[in-house]
Chain A
Amino acid sequence: MSTTALAPHDTPETAGRHAAGQRVTFPRVVHMEWIKLRSLRSTIYTLAITVALVVGFGLLLSSVVGSGEGPGQDDFGDPTSISLGGVTLAALAISVLGVLMSAGEYATGTIRATLSAVPARLPVLWGKVVVFAAVSFVLMFIAALGAFLAGQSVLSSRDMATAALSDPGVFRALVGAAVYLTGAGLIGLAVGALLRNTAGAITLVVGALFVVPGLIQLLPSSWNDAIGPYLPSNAGNSFMAVQTTGDALSPGAGLAVFAGYIVVLLAGAAVLLKRRDA
């Protein structure tokens, strides 16, 4: 160990004062979050699992649907939806990743190092949002496209109805799937930042995205019809579906509702991040 790395001749006035170009900018905070994301094996694994779920489950559904072993034999459903059947489950994995990215920093104490480097605090939250959204959207769109193309080729090899990318609503559904998965992750990120507790945040997000929709169906149907379409998962499904069915929201309205959840949760996370002890 040595101390030679200190500047050799600084005076009290110049010591440590602003070496050229060294200051905090938003792109630099984004860069920090990007390094943090890719330097953890757990995030890489979770992303890989999410992609595998989207593609793998889509392939599985495409190869079993209509084979007489599953429910709904009369209505094979829309071929695009069949090949995107893995998205619901993948949303579980990616929302956990969102939670890990925020609450995980509190669990490990990394947040104190992070906020010491960026004491303005808010850029850290927005940096995480930008990095997560960009990485997730790109990967999830590729996964959805892969699931669609592979699924359609399986369906066609089984002489079943297929869809083409150029069919109306198909491309929007693929983008919608990537948006939904990214949004589910952002909900996880925001809830993780609000609760600062990994287990609690995962429970809450899984409950809201996967358990509540089932519970709502147990309510009287007038309630169910009134609330159901506005749940985050159902609002998301409405912009992932090629055709709007039943009492689901229109794609535009579904997207607006879904985005509303994310904006409100992130705004809450921002307010508390600014206010609370780290």
Chain B
Amino acid sequence: MIEVDNLSKRYGDKLAVDALSFTVRSGVVTGFLGPNGAGKSTTMRMIMGLDRPSSGTTRINSRPYEQHKAPLQEIGALLEAKAIHPGRSAYHHLVALAASNGIGKRRVLEVIDMVGLTEVARKRAGGFSLGMGQRLGIASALLGDPQVVMLDEPVNGLDPEGVLWIRNLLKDLADRGRTVFVSSHLMSEMALIAEDLIVIGRGRLLSAGPLADFVAQSSGRSVRVRSPQAAHLRDLLVGDGVSVTSSEPGVLDVQGLDAAEIGERAAASGLVLHELSLQEASLEEAFMELTRDAVEYHATTAEFATTGGTNR
């Protein structure tokens, strides 16, 4: 279990994490989402005791991390930046870390095998590709067979086989009762593996809870209606708090009325319906909706286009 309580981190005059509180429970995969610069990596570094909080506390399995006697059995983490000397082999890097916690060489060879690095384990890590470096980071996270596994964008740089493997590994760990905390930019990835979701923006908590609730609560819910008499139906539905849009002829997307109400109104006026279905917002849409105001680094394509012509 990871507990984050009123956590803040200030870099100069930049408040990277702002009074953040949440709990990550064991037995499920918890996704950690937020736009670029939201403070995910900073929060994870503070959980690992690497960055000192400006205020607030973090606890792993009920204790501050540095108080644990066998730290690598409590939590294993893959963080954003590379953490290996390019001149050292993956094997020696892991053997050294293992030695500090009294973990044997057998376990080192096991994790190297798990992540598929056996062939290159004795080579200098400086020559590793992005994906190989990522696999090494995952190997070191698993070294102590830890109760909590925390990964910062683990699929970054992995090939499809690696992505699939990570997905299964994380689910497997959660099924074994471990706490699994994963940050990602790929909402679709989270939808596949996460049961809980923590969303932050500009260092603040935006949402925390089961992923299903997150999708259900989002305002992107609408009802899709297909009818040969769409225009007539539209006049019947629009009104206070109800908006109707149309993406193609004969199809209406209705917000603010539930499917039953729409069906009854149509029937009362004798209108024919070919389709009446509830459209749940995708995780992606719900996420964008939630973080719209918290996005720090907006893409500026439009601005670029308008100023592009005034080059001198």
Contacts and interface: CB of A to CB of B under 8 A. Distances in A.
Interface string B89-104: 1001101110111110
A120 B68 CA distance: 9
| Residue among A2, A35, A118 with most chain B CB within 10 A | A35
A129 to B, nearest CB: 16
Decide if the interface of chain A is mainly helix, strand, loop or mixed: loop
B157 interface: no
B97 A32 contact: yes
Contact of A113 (B86, B140, B168): B140
A40 B85 contact: yes
Interface in B133-165: 140, 144-147, 165
B232 interface: no
B140 to A, nearest CB: 6
Nearest to A113: B83
Interface in B236-295: none
A28 interface: yes
Nearest to A124: B100
A22 B73 contact: yes
Contact of A16 (B49, B83, B146): B146
Interface in A1-18: 1-3, 5-7, 10-13, 15-18
Given A12-B26, A120-B66, A115 B50 contact: yes
Contact of B110 (A5, A19, A115): A5
B129 to A, nearest CB: 16
B89 to A, nearest CB: 7
Given A17-B73, A25-B102, A109 B83 contact: yes
A114 B51 contact: no
A6 B111 CA distance: 9
Contacts of A5: 107, 110-111, 113-114
B95 A3 contact: no
B81 interface: yes
A11 B85 CA distance: 36
Contacts of B71: 24, 116-119
Contacts of B69: 18, 23-24
Contact of A12 (B27, B74, B140, B144): B27
Contacts of A2: 113-114
A1 B113 CA distance: 6
Nearest to B103: A22
A3 B168 contact: yes
Contacts of B145: 6-7, 16, 19
Contacts of B45: 277-278
B77 interface: yes
B72 interface: yes
9 contacts: A5-B110, A6-B173, A22-B70, A24-B70, A32-B100, A36-B92, A108-B85, A112-B48, A116-B72
Given A5-B111, A40-B87, A116-B71, 7 more contacts: A2-B113, A17-B147, A22-B73, A24-B102, A28-B101, A113-B84, A278-B45
